[in-house]
Structure 1
Amino acid sequence: EAFKQDIAVPENWRAEFDAHMEEQRQRSQTAAKGTFKGGLGGQTMQHKKYHTATHLMYESLRRVLGDHVIQHGSNITEERLRFDFSHPDKMTPEQLKQVEDMVNEQIKKDLVVTWEEHPTDYARNDLHVLGAFGDRYGETVKCYRMQAKGEDKPFSFEICGGPHVDHTGQLAEDGKVFKITKEESSSAGIRRIKAVLR
């Protein structure tokens, strides 16, 4: 399709694609087992905060840019999060600000973070939970919901193995806010964001 539309494709596109697919397979397999390894470096409170912020950012990206935004990898440390996603263009400063503001709004709303386990087909077809359904999951999956008290629908509802904070207000402890520090190309059609809580 890229060739038909005369989009430049790097010579090593196949190797990059295969690497992303393998990373996604590993992440999906660990999520199905109720653990999370894809990009998460540890189980500290700081890791939990950045992992939760990643969910908020992912949903914000989809709301600002569109449903074509799909996760292509992540890396979480105690200092920052890194998130790769499908999008054909560099994000504008206005789009980046919209995403930041949306994430910070959800942090301020102090969404409650809960999880529930469902049969995979039910999660996909009936609940429309966000997940990488091209990959194999077990018969049941953990679905994490981030929802404000009193609201009918969650802000974020994704298949994941965790770990997360109990409520999004924890991300704002010590007056911290979510800030995107970098947005760049990762590979053809894949953008990369780095963000911090500071």
Structure 2
Amino acid sequence: MLSGPLGALFGTSSVYAAEQKVNITKDLASITVMDNGKKYVIKRNQNVKNTINEDYALTSRACPPFCVQPMQLLPGVHTIGEIEMLKFLKARSDGDKSIMIIDSRTPDWVRKGSIPSAINIPWTQLYPESSSYQPFVVEDLLTSRFGAKVDDGIWDFSNAKTLVMFCNGPWCGQSPTNIKALVNMGYPADKIYWYRGGMQAWNALGLTTTTSP
């Protein structure tokens, strides 16, 4: 899914790279995705004096709970960066319904800005020890949205979707909690991609975020 040259996947976006000062890569200026009926052009902030959002400016959050996450979260789970995330976003926008982009943060964080076209599934919905955890909600989520099947209590993930998950960054445990919960349920680790940099890295690179709640 992620093989091949960037131009082959990103289409004609690279044609406009020369018209911007701050590109994503040398040949890629932007990609366009839809989010709840609204078009988003994902590109980097063109103000070369722009600084990171203050929500992500802190360097020393208390650990625990804000501890540095490992590069390899679990065996089989793929850790990705921004270019790979953009490829998934473009593929999803072009109609690949086998992909889901998931923001694992709680809604208060999501309202501050997210990656365009991501859906919000808070870690509290999947984590069994959370006060918000409801088994029937999780079962409905896995079957109606993730493409899994269950028969007499036995899960079948053979046709499950590819999940691309993120949260606030290397110090955030929200998407790791979601991922660990899913793998513990039997979800195939190799169908899960983790954008470790999350919103910390996304904002640090000046990439477009959603602006609506």
- Which has more radius of gyration? 2
Higher strand residue share? 1
* TM-score (norm: length of structure 2): 0.27
User: Structure 1 length normalisation: TM-score?
Assistant: 0.28
